[in-house]
């Protein structure tokens, strides 16, 4: 099984900050990496797919990069509505997909 490790597991940031979340795969997954945002009590929302493609309707302050085993989700300037949990998901071994453990972005 491909393991996905996210870091940090949580972070505190202020509105306007640049935030970076990292996801590492236990083996190369090419660019089959997806990012989701989840707010408390809500379903996950697709942000980024194929490592760097922005899902339609998602603000451009969100961006993704990486290939192989190391990936990054960046929020260029944190907005109040961005405080949430973020999950990466590998699709290389589809349909046996796996998620990272999540990163909770909290207000400083």
Partner 1 sequence: EVQLVESGGALVQPGGSLRLSCAASGFSFSNYSMNWVRQAPGKGLEWVSYITAGSASIYYADSVKGRFTISRDNGKNSLYLQMNSLGAEDTAVYYCARYFDYSRRMDVWGKGTTVTVSS
Piece of 17-25, 62-70, 75-83, 92-100 that binds partner 1 (CB under 8 A)? 92-100
Rounded to whole angstroms, what are the CA distances from 8 to 5, 34, 54, 59? 9, 17, 22, 23
Q: Which of 91, 48, 107 is nearest to 73 (CA)?
A: 48
Q: Cα separation of 34 and 51, whole Å?
A: 6
Q: Cα separation of 74 and 62, whole Å?
A: 6
Q: Is 45 in the site for partner 1 (CB under 8 A)?
A: yes
Residue of 34, 37, 75, 82 that binds partner 1 (CB under 8 A): 34
Helix (H, G, I), strand (E, B) or coil at 22: strand
The nearest distance, CB 82 to partner 1, in angstroms, is 19
Residue of 44, 52, 63, 76 that binds partner 1 (CB under 8 A): 44
Q: Is 95 in the site for partner 1 (CB under 8 A)?
A: yes
Q: Is 24 in the site for partner 1 (CB under 8 A)?
A: no
Q: How far is CA 6 from the centre of its chain?
A: 8
The nearest distance, CB 2 to partner 1, in angstroms, is 12
Residues that bind partner 1 (CB under 8 A): 32, 34, 36, 38, 42-46, 49-50, 53, 55, 87, 89, 91-92, 94-102
């Amino acid at each position: 099984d491909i393991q996905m490790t996210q870091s940090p597991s949580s972070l505190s940031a202020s509105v306007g900050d640049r935030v970076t979340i990292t996801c590492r795969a236990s083996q190369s997954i090419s660019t089959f990496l997806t990012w989701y945002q989840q707010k408390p009590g809500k379903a996950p929302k697709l942000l980024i797919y194929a490592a760097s493609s922005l899902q339609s309707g998602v603000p451009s302050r969100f961006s993704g990069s990486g290939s192989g085993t190391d990936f990054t989700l960046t929020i260029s300037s944190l907005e109040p509505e961005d405080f949430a949990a973020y999950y990466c998901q590998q699709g290389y071994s589809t349909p046996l997909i796996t998620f990272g453990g999540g990163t909770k972005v909290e207000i400083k």
